[in-house]
Amino acid sequence: RNIQKKLFIRLFSQENFTCGVSTTTSPLNAHYKHYIKLPLPEDKILATYIWIDGSGIAMRSKDRILEEIPYDLSMVPKWAFDGSSTGQAKTNNSDTHLIPSAIYKDPFRKSPHVIVLCETYNGDGSPTLTNHRAHCAKIMSKLSDQEPWFGIEQEYTMFDSDLWPLGWPKVRGYPVTKSQYSYCGVGEHIAGRDLVECHTRACVYSGMNFGGTNAEVMKGSWEFQIGTTSGIKAADDLWVGRYLLNRIAEHFGVIISYHPKPMGKEHPGIGCHHNFSTEKMRSDEGIKEIERVCKILCEKHKTTIKNYGLGDGDENKKRLTGKFETASFDTCRWGIADRGASIRLTRSVATEHKGYLEDRRPAGDCDPYRVCALIAETCL
């Protein structure tokens, strides 16, 4: 149990063995099917408020009945929760506020029920330590005349309930298949496609700007993409995408990890590439602006890299080794079509002299609000 506990803390960055992640299977039995079909009065809307907890990566949610369908944020009441149970407040000052910031259709209960993404604030009105959205929203509104676009690629790993990657041989066995067959692979080279299919459909249904999915280099790991979308919506959508993924994984008895190097140095890492462009970059000779931004991003590398992963970004060191299509943690360089660079420009940037940049440094467990804000700041 001790070994399991250590593994759990490493993978999910949480001290509490049972907290935050559900491993129960939904009771898809006759009783469940009865209750789920009970017709509800038309003026009762179920709203699931979701937020990022004090760990900075796990999410929490609680439900509330609304009296009318919320068409915009002003129709969703503010709410509060016990921050001392989520690592966000002390017991003697525990009321933490939920401020609705985006509404999505609920793919579990279906429309008109909703999911409400919230920011968290302390009793004194300041953002909680893991509320990085507040700052990001300010940066995005300053930059709005430059029309910033983001596309985010979220990689993740599926673990079985025994905390071993899905599809890997039991009794601590390693995949026989070479990892080069798993990327976009089929058949025995991949695992967990049914879960991915459910997640794709739930995300598209919810109204987020979902871009696509693919199986990743390590067996049992996958990627989904958000965007291309403008301003803060990409980061909002990414967090809702994570929430839906963790919820759907409950049905499968699977645990989702965003850890940047879950299986040690012999196996591929888990990243969260951030693609970015402004109107200027997308216009003729935008390559000049792209190169200007790349230069600033690399100059600031040493001070900003700690914002590219959970907490102080330390675990990302294990991933950014120069191996498995990554650059080293200690240096920053950019290059065209170079997957070993920190920041990659697609080949089309070289041929068309315009386009976007791909910051490949963020870890799978980064907060996209922190990363998007830092990238966007280079244009202010």
Give the interface with ligand ADP as residue ranges (CB under 6 A).
149-151, 153, 211, 225, 227-228, 273, 275-277, 282, 356, 358
Binding Mn ion by CB under 5 A: which of 242, 273, 319, 354?
273
CB nearer ligand ADP, residue 111 or residue 348: 348
Q: Does 237 bind Mn ion (CB under 5 A)?
A: no
Q: How far is the CB of 266 from Mn ion (least distance, A)?
A: 19
CB nearer Mn ion, residue 84 or residue 328: 84
Q: How far is the CB of 357 from ligand ADP (least distance, A)?
A: 8
What HEC string does the chain produce? CHHHHHHHHHHHCCCCCCCCCCCCCCCCCHHHHHHHCCCCCCCCEEEEEEEECCCCCCEEEEEEEECCCCCCHHHCCCEEEEHHHCCCCCHHHCEEEEEEEEEEECCCCCCCCEEEEEEEECCCCCECCCCCHHHHHHHHHHHHHHCCEEEEEEEEEEECCCCCECCCCCCCCCCCCCHHHCCCCCHHHCCCHHHHHHHHHHHHHHCCCEEEEEECCCCCEEEEEEEEEECCHHHHHHHHHHHHHHHHHHHHCCEEECCCCCCCCCCCCCECCEEEECHHHHCCCCHHHHHHHHHHHHHCHHHHHHHHCCCCCCCHHHHCECCCCCCECCCCCEEECCCCCCEEECHHHHHHCCCCEEECCCECCCCHHHHHHHHHHCCC
Q: How far is the CB of 212 from Mn ion (least distance, A)?
A: 8
Which entry of Mn ion, ligand ADP, none binds 228, CB below 5 to 8 A by partner kind?
ligand ADP
Q: Does 223 bind Mn ion (CB under 5 A)?
A: yes
Q: How far is the CB of 243 from ligand ADP (least distance, A)?
A: 19
Which entry of Mn ion, ligand ADP, none binds 135, CB below 5 to 8 A by partner kind?
none
Stretch touching Mn ion by CB under 5 A, among 42-50, 147-155, 243-251, 349-357: 147-155
Size of the site for Mn ion (CB under 5 A): 3
Q: How far is the CB of 339 from Mn ion (least distance, A)?
A: 8
Which entry of ligand ADP, Mn ion, none binds 300, CB below 5 to 8 A by partner kind?
none
Binding site for Mn ion (CB under 5 A): 153, 223, 273
